[in-house]
Structure 1
Amino acid sequence: MQYFLIFLAFLCGAVFPTQAALNTQMTKNVGHPVLAAFLSFFTGLIALFLYILIARIPLQSLSSARNVPWYVWFAGLLGAFYISTVIVLIPRLGFALTFGLIVAGQMAISLLFDHYGILHTPIREISIGRIIGALFLVAGVILIRKF
């Protein structure tokens, strides 16, 4: 099971650049990155709705959403920010630098989330090995930028 989860995480990482490439192509066709992001989310909404229907997920669970803390709703805004920003960055920075910087940012905030248990996540303290790993990611981004 652990290997499947590792593969799934790797696959998720591989999907981001593919999604960015497709969204970049959509931007070229519709003329604006925010329109491309909107269409991306719209397509995703349809796909999720079809999955809900096929998997017979009970819709009455949606009523519980009104009880979540207000800040939880920012997840959708963060997704929109991410997609729109990537669409703008890819043509200007290229794939490798854009995603190198994204991974470095993900690692930095992930270390903080782990260490402090931000948003009720399990605590996994920062270690010297984790810091060195993050620094290697930053060094990789610098090398990608330089060459």
Structure 2
Amino acid sequence: MLPMSAVDQSRQSSAAWFGFLLTALVAGAAIPSQGRINSELAAEVDDPFLAALLSFGTGLLLMLVIAYLTPTGRRTLGQVRPALRRGEVRWWYLLAGCIGGYFVLTQSLTIGLIGVAVFTVAVVTGQTLGGLLWDRIGLGPAGRKRLNAVRVLGALLTVLAVLWTVSPQLGGHAGSWAWLLLVIFPLTAGFTNSAQQALNGRQSAAYGSPIPATLINFVAGTAVLLLAYLVKVLVSGVGETLPTAPWYYLGGPLGCVFIGLGAVLVTRVGVLLAAMGMIAGQLIGSLLLDLIVPAPGSVVTLSTVLGTLLTLVAVVIASLPDIRRTR
């Protein structure tokens, strides 16, 4: 067999990075769709705790079906215990889903109080800072990644692009201490979310598939949210009526897309680039939602469009060292 030429390697590298970007955009676009559905569900049942539990519960049911009714799911589930025995997966990796539960609960609790724009900026800032840190210490399966000037520039551009994108919606908030404290919740949710993706990536690399890690995430997250809901029931009781429209229950399946694809991305490109690519997907998904099915108070301006495009530029800039090294 003839060795691959430099031109063929360059084409293969470009195709691989185009595939990474497309996958990241799809994974990220699932988040604003999930957020819109979970927000509507929380308003419908008048209970953010129940809405978050229903979202994770439907995702858990879907992952149980995928894991136990598909050959790949059954085969890779059998790799969990051996990976734990070999030390490739530590027991605390299995708790990564608790972070996802915290993220969804934070989404349900704070968006109505601080707004979608501020929530997005706080989450993106947390994801970017977390991506820098987790790559630096080597939490993800790709190991340690050097934080050169190009990566840091791309991360800073991402945060600035998000600020520019949501700038039309940032006015009108009182900068009280209570409001600032509320912002800490999505900030920490974004920061820990990038750690969740890193741990999921390690599990997916050990199992040979993202299916077991995604299932374990939903088991852990559902357990945490069930506990939170039971505490709420003890305090204020039960009285909610579940909606009958099926689209209210699509938040969980969209979470499966985000967690599963995110775990695959982290194994390929590291935590920071995966987070940045999915951030671009979040903004593009939000823009499409606001254009196709706008929510009350949504604003689409030139800065919204240009800021979204700038996130894609930031992802490409941060990816340049890896693209050159692959070639």
What's the TM-score, normalizing by structure 1? 0.82
Question: What is the alpha-carbon distance in structure 1 between the residues aligned to residue 192 and residue 268 of structure 2?
Answer: 20
Aligned mates of 1:2, 1:145 — CA distance in 2: 35
Judge conservation of contact 2:204–2:264 (CA < 8 Å) in 1. Answer: no
Which residue, out of 181, 185, 188, partners 1:11?
A: 188
Q: Could you say which residue in structure 2 is the equivalent of 1:22?
A: 199
Q: Do structure 1's residue 71 and structure 2's residue 71 form an aligned pair?
A: no
CA contact (8 A) 2:197 2:263 kept: yes
Name stretches of at least 5 consecutive residues in structure 2 with no aligned partner. 1-177, 322-327
The structure with more helix, counted as a fraction of residues? 1
The residue that corresponds to 1:100 in the other structure is 276
Question: Aligned pair 1:85/2:261, yes or no?
Answer: yes
Residue number in structure 2 paired with 1:146: 320
Q: Give secondary structure in 2 for the equivalent of 1:125.
A: coil
* 1:131 pairs with 2:305: yes
Establish whether residue 54 from structure 1 lines up as the match of residue 228 from structure 2: no
Please tell me whether residue 43 in structure 1 is matched to residue 220 in structure 2. Answer: yes
Q: Give the Cα separation in 1 of the matches to 2:212 and 2:264.
A: 12
- Tell me which amino acid in the other structure corresponds to 1:140: A
Gap change, CA 1:110 and 1:78, over 3 Å in 2: same
- The count of corresponding residues between Structure 1 and Structure 2 is 142
- The equivalent residue for 1:110 is 286
Counterpart of 1:131, as a letter, is V
**CA distances 1:67-92 after superposition (whole Å, capped 9, x unpaired):** 34212221111011111111111111
CA distance in 2, matches of 1:123, 1:111: 13
Give the counterpart letter for 1:3 in structure 2. Answer: L
Q: CA RMSD in A?
A: 2.1
> Which of these two proteins has the greater Rg computed from alpha carbons?
2
Deviation at 1:34, TM superposition (A): 0.6
Query: For the Cα contact (< 8 Å) 2:210–2:260, is it kept in 1?
Result: yes
Offset from partner CA, 1:38-82 (integer Å, 9 cap, x none):
011001111111111223264452xx22x3421222111101111
Q: Distance in 1 between matches of 2:193 and 2:201?
A: 12
Instruction: State the partner residue of 2:50.
Output: none
- How far the C-alpha of 1:26 sits from its partner, in A, is 3.0
Q: Counterpart of 2:16?
A: none
**1:59–1:83 CA distance, 2 compared to 1 (3 A):** farther
Note if contact 2:283-2:308 (Cα within 8 Å) is conserved in structure 1. yes
Q: 1:101-122 CA deviation, whole Å, 9 max, x = no partner?
A: 110010012123334544xx22
Task: Using the TM superposition, give the Cα deviation of residue 29 of structure 1 relative to its aligned residue in structure 2, in angstroms.
Answer: 4.8
| Residue identity in the other structure for 2:198 | A
Q: Output the TM-score relative to the length of structure 2.
A: 0.40
Deviation at 1:143, TM superposition (A): 0.4
Q: Which residue type is aligned with residue 26 of structure 1?
A: Q
Higher relative contact order (CA 8 A, sep 6+): 2
How far apart are 1:95 and its partner, in Å?
Answer: 1.6
1:124: Cα distance to partner? 2.2
